[in-house]
Structure 1
Amino acid sequence: FSRIVVSKAQRASIRAELESQFPTVLSYIQFIISTYNQADILGKMFSCLSKWLEFGISIVKVESLFDYLFNSLNNETIFDDASNCIIVLFTSPDALKYPSIFSHLLPYVLQLELILDQSLMIGDKEKAEWITKLITQFGENLAQLIIQMAITPNQQSQTLAHRFCCLVMKCTDMKGQYPVEETCSELTFSFWYALQEEVTSIDDDDKRIILLELFRPYFERLIEVLISKGQLPDNESIFTSEDKETFRCYRVDITDTMMCMHNVLSNRAIEVLANHLLLAVEQNQSWQRQESIIQLVGAGSEYVPLDENQILPRIFSLLPKLNFCNSSIINATLMVLGQYSSWLGHHQETLQNCVHLCINALSNPELIQSASIALKELTMENRMYMSKYLNDIFPIIKNVLENVHVQPNDRIRCVAIIGYILSAYASKIVIDHLNILLAPEVNKLLAYLSETNVDQNTILRKQNICTTLSFISVLITTIGYCGDQSDVDDNDQQQKAAENISEIPEVV
């Protein structure tokens, strides 16, 4: 119907005629249900019903088929066809037009838990995934209905809404390592996003506060589940290369879901993480759990206000006590320092305890990427304060730049770090350091340009020239950087930084 090219009036006329004939179609569907049990015939019947639902037939007209649809999920031969039809049913545009009809569907959805448990018991991952998809599809498309049922005076409706949230949480907290042992938990993230979106979008302040109190336990429990599900495995050999990439994407989805929790819970989200981190340190829990918590702390960097001074200091005070026995947890910690660079600039008593972790990590090939990212953010946001670390950082970065095995992007970030720090110094100090840094790069550039055999390795030669020019460009640009600073009181240093730009041509 959607592909027919006709006028608007003709389309309306055709739609009206088709809708008038649906009772006949429904009677025939009911006849097939009562007469046949062959999977192929019933499969065509489900396909027919799906097409009519997609066409826009009101859900009210198919309410009589609810029992049969959900009971069909117990029949292995027609499970797939019935599932596809129910998915179409759940995505009906009538959802909020007929809330009472859809609320009648909720008990059917809750009964899916039995099929889910049976599937998990026999190790049928594919069927468990399908059931989880049905459950979360209902919740995602009808999150507003779940909210309405949760605050209705009707106790039965409230109970159904809370039972549904518990069922989705059960799917999120599916036992086993994703994606090797289970593939269901990832499907549920969209529901939690939809639920927090509905809660936060309520205009009525009083109603929003009530809803937040109702659903807060689920959101806080979700944070705990995300910590567990996001943990790196004890033995990564269980992963194929494809599994590793799938799990990496899964952790990105977990981080996105955590951002939703920061959005809906505000500072309470970071407080929950702080409590879990404290427990992990005090009980000497695995580095994998500590690393997972740190990852989720990073997800809140955009939501925590710069003047927050109760929870984040607790978290940063725990960082030196983490179990740094693996490069993954060190990398995660370094990334968090970079993500909170603005906040750290407003809390320099905390910043001074974190700087050397970044500086020391620059010398480690496994850590240089995250260390250089973090240190670049810290120096850019807090160049005046960070300038006092010039003598600590410069020798290390000089060694890094001389290492031929360092990746170009890491070199560029390292030179940017030095540039931001030098931007806070007087021109003589800047020139002294420029002479050390630029001389090798200029010599490289001259060597590339003087190569006589231009026919061989032309592409590599061009890449080398571009990389060297980028190096020089970034260094000069960052030395002249004067951004918004957390420590803008040092006017004398700022004046010195402004003088640097006019001195750079002397070195070049």
Structure 2
Amino acid sequence: MAGTLAGVELNAENVEKAVLQFYQSSATQETHQWLTIAQISPQAWNFAWELIRPEKSPEVQFFGASCLAVKVSRYWAELKAEQHPALRKKLLDTIVTYQGPKIVLTRICVAVSGLVIHSVSDNWQQPIQDLINMFQPHITTENMRPLALLLELLTVIPEEFSTLLLPSQRRAQVRNHLTGSLTGMLQFLMQVLNQQTNSEVSIQAFKCIQAWVQFGVPLDESGEIIERLLAAVHDEELSDVAFEALSSMVTHPDTHKYPNHLMALLKRLIPLDRILIDYIGEGSYECALPVLTLFISFGESHSRLMIDWATSSQDGRESVLRLISTILYASSCPAQFPTQETISEMPFGFWYILQDDIIACEPDQYQQCVALFGPVYTALVNTMLMKSMYDPKDDQWTADQRESFRCYRTDIADTIMYSFNILRDGLLHSLLQHLDSSISACLTSPAAWPALEACLHAWYAVAESLADSDEEEANPLLSMFLAKLPIIPFSKNIRVFSTVLDCIGGFSDWLAMHPQLLPHVTPIVTSALGNTELSLAATMALKDISRDCTDSMRPYAGEVIDAIHQSTVSGCLNTGEIIRLMYPLGKMLALLPTQQILPRLEPILSPHLQLINSLSLSPAPDQQTRQKIIFVLKLLGSLFQTLNITRRSDDQPESETSQLRNSLGEPVDQPVFIILKQFLPMLDKVCQNNPQDSEIIDSVCALLKQSVSTLQDEIRPLTQDVVTLTMTCYRATPQPAALDLVKQFFVMYGRETEMEGPLKSLMCEICNISLRTIQSGATMSDHADLIDCFFAMLGQVLKKQAGLFVNNELDSLLLLQCAIHTLTMPEQHPVKSAAMFLTQLITVSREVENLVPLVNQHGEQVFMQVMKCIGGESNRTFIDFFTDILLALNKKYFDNMCRYMNAMVSTENFPSPLCSKESKENFARLVLKERANKRKLQETVREFSLLSRGLMGSEYASQMVKFGL
């Protein structure tokens, strides 16, 4: 980095002025940016010391200390080895003598922590003990500041280790050293706790314990500390930090090595349940958080052990069940979430982990668990039914509270689904009983609707598990539930009705196998379509059952079509719901005799076609007109997705099934074909009048793409019209959607001799327009989406129909050059697509004769650009895309690749000045060796990229990349 930035020299005086300006409310974004870069500059090693002098303002001192912390922690590699001792002495002298603000001292502690982590083992053999020895002479009964400072420093060291970016080998080395210091640290902390009565010192000592237990919890040696922590939970000042330290201890993964000690610890923790129960009983939910966190942490971390204890001894069973009962008590705390309490959401993860471990048990132990924990999960479900009830006054809640409750109910639904994995039919029997009682209560008192809605919500929650269950087909309990839906008094409450609709949609898979129940539920869905408050749930439910129960819906197709017609003209639906209804409409129409489809469709579709016909005449539509046009286009796209009367078979050639015939044996066109043929002139007008409207053009192309997808080969008579319209759109406003559309034609007809000429001409025009558009932007990023789709299309065509590139009119070299330049773009998707195109080009070129000279003549340019990108010209997250190109060259052009590598090795400072000739030779050797193993090649390329960028062994430059440096 240069010594100046934006004309201002990076020195203590200028930095101090900038800091004061920043804190005096006259800061600008430029000031902030300048200070950020100053903080990571090499000059910061010098001016930081000037800024922390005692006569400076607290703000300036804080910035100086932050500079030291950042430089030591992240930019250690900038220092030479001989500079380390001087820095250590200066930092330690500073921390011992500093008398300024606490916030500044904390940042100095971070700097010293970074020094310890970077120096440990290599340059500093016993840093922890040395720090203790350094501070101890200054600790007196009258002056506790040195001890408090030492404890804070010892606390920050493991915290800094957790966040500092280190190479894996170095991280393991530092961890091993700190782990080796753990026993001595815990002994020192016990001495502090035994000798001191100062509560602030005790709190800091407990925080230090919590920080250090990440390096291991030797339960066989930790009895004294655990006793001290358990004693402290009854002290109002110490309880929170003591609970946090205990939670950190029980969650450490090494504790499973001491199952007997862990069981003994559980027995010591269990009596703390009285604290939790008392707090919840009093409504002091915030006070209950620390002890609840401890219990949940223990349960989540050791659920597998708890299962073993509970199924192997009476003593273990009692302890485990008491712990679980306490967590269940927290789940069922008697208050409304989220307006009165927020702790009942905390155990959700525990209930999932426990059931997951139960179902993973061996059969014998699993049966024991079901008998033992089944009542717990039954009680949990009953609790969840209570907690998921809506508050009748929730209209007075804030938007955030309503959203929190919605997420809470989602978690409840998941928990009930997990409970089904344990309870199976027992849960369904229970839910049926709840359903009967809640229906009776609601019939007596309509105000009892929350319990009924909560029960229906629970049934909806288990729908997914039931759909995946092997026993679903034989389960009569589901039939009993669905048969009860018509007798539910849902018409009296919108929320109950909406959840009934959710249940019907959720059980659509099951209804497909039990079509006899469709008469019970279909009228419920269709009756709700005209209700504004229910239309969202109703349209989604109808879409689900029409998708999964298509054949079984044939007897009700006419009724459903009539209901859809009535709802679309009622004015009760929004545009999104009308579009969604086109999906089931197409499904139902396809079930009718062919001659009935268009007459039934005409009254529904005609108003929309007439609308767009009139709107298409407007040369400059306003925003409202535009939205109407886009609405009709999307509506037709949704209809075309399912209105398909062709029955294709995987073992029949498409040509044998694509020609439909009526009862007299005469050919019959697909309804989509007929509609599209009539609609194309309107689409042409829309495009002519809105050539620059990207949203309209995109919708037109999406509709045409869906038409081609549905009709497949039956689109052939309209192919020329569709392609002409697509190209009209593309010439006016090149859009990715048009490329997606023409790609289908390339793939469908690419091997047909009679289509070869037109498709090659189409390919040339597409490429010419795309390249011209790309070149017209100030930067390639101006057309990132188009470039992405363009090269993705070319890659697919190369893969499926490479013969289309045997084309004298196609400027393959220009395409190649554009792809090469695309590799340096900052956007991921264009780079990925261009790399895929180049990879496919190299791969298929051996099969397409006229592409071989192209790769032979310009392969080195491709290779060199790839190496530049690997070396630093491109984002590091794109490295794997470039690896694919190298692998393709290795496989198909190995001799060329050897020459390219030799040229790369012999070019000085390429691809980066940081690459030595030896490292490049090693890289070349490893790359050329891998012609099949992509994973190994990726590892090689990634390591070379780190070396080229100066990041090998360190991640410190990630901050510089963040600011474009």
Q: TM-score, normalised by structure 1?
A: 0.89
Give matches, 1:63-102, under 5 Å.
63-102=223-262
Kindly indicate whether residue 472 of structure 2 is the aligned counterpart of residue 313 of structure 1.
no
Kindly indicate whether residue 477 of structure 2 is the aligned counterpart of residue 477 of structure 1.
no
Which stretch of the first structure deviates more once superposed, 474-483 or 221-230? 474-483
Alpha-carbon distance in structure 1 between the residues aligned to 2:327 and 2:409: 19
- Are residues 337 and 439 of structure 1, via their aligned partners in 2, closer, same or farther at CA, if it must alter by over 3 Å? same
Following superposition, the deviation at residue 273 of structure 1 comes to: 1.1
**Who is 1:21 aligned against?**
181
Count of matched residue positions in the alignment of Structure 1 and Structure 2: 492
- Are residues 432 and 108 of structure 1, via their aligned partners in 2, closer, same or farther at CA, if it must alter by over 3 Å? same
Residue among 123, 134, 144 paired with 2:294: 134
- Are residues 163 and 433 of structure 1, via their aligned partners in 2, closer, same or farther at CA, if it must alter by over 3 Å? same
Alpha-carbon distance in structure 1 between the residues aligned to 2:173 and 2:404: 49
Preserved CA contact (<8 Å) 2:355 2:419:
yes
Kindly indicate whether residue 673 of structure 2 is the aligned counterpart of residue 505 of structure 1.
yes
Amino acid at match of 2:426: R
Amino acid at match of 1:468: V
Following superposition, the deviation at residue 20 of structure 1 comes to: 4.0
Give matches, 1:429-468, under 5 Å.
429-454=596-621, 456-457=622-623, 461-468=625-632
**Who is 2:382 aligned against?**
224
Following superposition, the deviation at residue 247 of structure 1 comes to: 0.7
State the percentage of identical aligned residues: 24
Kindly indicate whether residue 273 of structure 2 is the aligned counterpart of residue 113 of structure 1.
yes
Kindly indicate whether residue 346 of structure 2 is the aligned counterpart of residue 168 of structure 1.
no
Following superposition, the deviation at residue 289 of structure 1 comes to: 0.8
Alpha-carbon distance in structure 1 between the residues aligned to 2:232 and 2:543: 59
Preserved CA contact (<8 Å) 1:306 1:346:
no
Following superposition, the deviation at residue 283 of structure 1 comes to: 4.6
Give matches, 1:6-85, under 5 Å.
8=169, 14-85=174-245
Alpha-carbon distance in structure 2 between the residues aligned to 1:11 and 1:422: 65
Alpha-carbon distance in structure 2 between the residues aligned to 1:353 and 1:6: 64
Alpha-carbon distance in structure 1 between the residues aligned to 2:244 and 2:205: 12
**Who is 1:491 aligned against?**
none
Alpha-carbon distance in structure 1 between the residues aligned to 2:419 and 2:646: 35
Alpha-carbon distance in structure 2 between the residues aligned to 1:89 and 1:43: 16
**Who is 1:358 aligned against?**
525
Unaligned 5+ residue runs, structure 1?
Answer: 485-493
**Who is 2:451 aligned against?**
289
Greater RCO (CA < 8 Å, at least 6 residues apart): 1
Alpha-carbon distance in structure 2 between the residues aligned to 1:263 and 1:472: 42
What are the superposed Cα offsets for residues 38-97 of structure 1, whole Å, 9 maximum, x if unpaired? 343222212211221112343433232112212322222223322322221121012321
Amino acid at match of 2:337: Y
Preserved CA contact (<8 Å) 2:217 2:249:
no
Kindly indicate whether residue 586 of structure 2 is the aligned counterpart of residue 416 of structure 1.
no
Preserved CA contact (<8 Å) 2:420 2:465:
yes
What are the superposed Cα offsets for residues 99-133 of structure 1, whole Å, 9 maximum, x if unpaired? 11221221233222221233234432211233222
Partner SS for 2:498? helix
**Who is 2:691 aligned against?**
none
Following superposition, the deviation at residue 7 of structure 1 comes to: 7.3
**Who is 2:963 aligned against?**
none
Preserved CA contact (<8 Å) 1:441 1:472:
no
Partner SS for 1:168? helix
Kindly indicate whether residue 525 of structure 2 is the aligned counterpart of residue 349 of structure 1.
no
- Are residues 20 and 505 of structure 1, via their aligned partners in 2, closer, same or farther at CA, if it must alter by over 3 Å? closer
Alpha-carbon distance in structure 2 between the residues aligned to 1:123 and 1:300: 32
- Are residues 258 and 123 of structure 1, via their aligned partners in 2, closer, same or farther at CA, if it must alter by over 3 Å? closer
Kindly indicate whether residue 400 of structure 2 is the aligned counterpart of residue 242 of structure 1.
yes
**Who is 2:414 aligned against?**
256
Following superposition, the deviation at residue 466 of structure 1 comes to: 3.0
Q: TM-score, normalised by structure 2?
A: 0.48
Alpha-carbon distance in structure 2 between the residues aligned to 1:14 and 1:215: 43
Unaligned 5+ residue runs, structure 2?
Answer: 1-160, 649-659, 677-965
Following superposition, the deviation at residue 339 of structure 1 comes to: 0.9
Following superposition, the deviation at residue 17 of structure 1 comes to: 4.2
Alpha-carbon distance in structure 1 between the residues aligned to 2:562 and 2:364: 58
Kindly indicate whether residue 461 of structure 2 is the aligned counterpart of residue 299 of structure 1.
yes
Following superposition, the deviation at residue 420 of structure 1 comes to: 0.9
Give matches, 1:197-212, under 5 Å.
197-202=356-361, 204-212=362-370
What are the superposed Cα offsets for residues 18-38 of structure 1, whole Å, 9 maximum, x if unpaired? 344333322321122223343
Partner SS for 1:111? helix
Task: Answer with 1 or 2: which has the greater Rg.
Answer: 2
**Who is 2:906 aligned against?**
none
Q: What CA RMSD, in Å, does the superposition of the two structures yield over aligned residues? A: 2.6
Amino acid at match of 1:476: F
Alpha-carbon distance in structure 2 between the residues aligned to 1:181 and 1:12: 46
- Are residues 212 and 123 of structure 1, via their aligned partners in 2, closer, same or farther at CA, if it must alter by over 3 Å? closer
Alpha-carbon distance in structure 2 between the residues aligned to 1:109 and 1:301: 38
Alpha-carbon distance in structure 2 between the residues aligned to 1:317 and 1:7: 60
Preserved CA contact (<8 Å) 1:383 1:423:
no
- Are residues 115 and 396 of structure 1, via their aligned partners in 2, closer, same or farther at CA, if it must alter by over 3 Å? same
Alpha-carbon distance in structure 1 between the residues aligned to 2:196 and 2:546: 73
What are the superposed Cα offsets for residues 140-184 of structure 1, whole Å, 9 maximum, x if unpaired? 11111210110113x212211111121111111111111122222
Alpha-carbon distance in structure 2 between the residues aligned to 1:210 and 1:503: 60
Following superposition, the deviation at residue 403 of structure 1 comes to: 4.6
Preserved CA contact (<8 Å) 1:430 1:500:
no
**Who is 2:781 aligned against?**
none
Preserved CA contact (<8 Å) 2:540 2:580:
yes
Amino acid at match of 2:325: C
